[in-house]
A and B are shown apart, each in its own frame.
Chain A
Amino acid sequence: MDVKYINPFLEGTIEVLKTMAFVDPRPGKPYLKKNNLAKGDITGIIGITGTIKGSLALSFSTGSILKIVSNMLGEEITSLNGEIRDAVGEITNMVSGAARKKIEVMGYSLSASLPTVVSGKDHTIMHVLGGPSIVIPFEMKEGPFVVDISMGDPQ
């Protein structure tokens, strides 16, 4: 996967979470992930189609997503309930939109599917293209989360 796609997702994630949830997550060093295990407790996945095919997953630890959604809703949420699932889907959708806008500036035309949300211990992330993906780790005081991306070559 071309590393030029990393920054749009990194910046898109920070932009969405800063704007909607008033948090400022610290990104770590991106790395290659060879298995399909999710890093977090709840994950939003969205397919990307167009000039470049691929998929994006956002996988949150319980601590990080409780803080993010509590801030978004303006009320304290203490467990991974339906509102958290809805919000994970919506955040994934918004990050996808923000990142696609940045990639489109490079001259590609992209669209996205509807997000799906998976949770539970040791759940997996099935990327559209299969194979290794690139993970961008993020840290918040309340816990970590990752952006897990797999993008193919332009068609």
Chain B
Amino acid sequence: MDTNKKIKILVVDDFATMRKVIRNLLKQSGYENVTEAEDGVAAMNVLKTTKIDFVISDWNMPNMTGIELLRAVRSDNDLGTMPFLMVTAESLKENVVEAVKAGVSNYIVKPFTAEVLGEKIDKIMESVK
């Protein structure tokens, strides 16, 4: 098995159903080591207590949004270089610019296939090797 497929992925989305959908797409791409968090605050708790290799986060969430989570991760001494894929419902130019400025590894616009998701993850993991 490709060693990248063993990475532990944290999926962050306030909708449990969407977390399940992404988990299903990840499974189809060969990624089965997946854990979940319901918002940015819960995600930071997971990141501080569990070894995570990759974060996939929704943009729109209560408590702490995806962009706020990204900033918190990038400014953390231990988590600063964490691969981070942002999920958005629309490719608004200003959102993309904001995410890139905040240090996002890449972004993906819903709807997306398992194949496209897998390719994005592989590309990011290649770049951090």
Contacts and interface: CB of A to CB of B under 8 A. Distances in A.
Nearest to A89: B15
B98 to A, nearest CB: 15
Interface string B84-121: 00000111000000000000000001111100000000
B21 A73 contact: yes
Interface in A61-85: 69, 72-74, 83
Size bracket of the A interface:
10 to 19
Specify the main secondary structure of chain A where it touches its partner.
helix
A100 B109 CA distance: 13
A20 B20 contact: no
A90 B90 contact: no
Contacts of B21: 20, 72-73, 87, 90
Contacts of B111: 15-16, 19-20, 94, 98
A73 B21 CA distance: 5
B17 interface: yes
Nearest to B89: A97
Interface of B: 15-18, 20-21, 24, 27-28, 89-91, 109-113
- Pick the 9 closest A-B CB pairs, nearest first: A86-B17, A74-B24, A19-B111, A97-B90, A97-B89, A20-B111, A16-B111, A83-B17, A87-B17
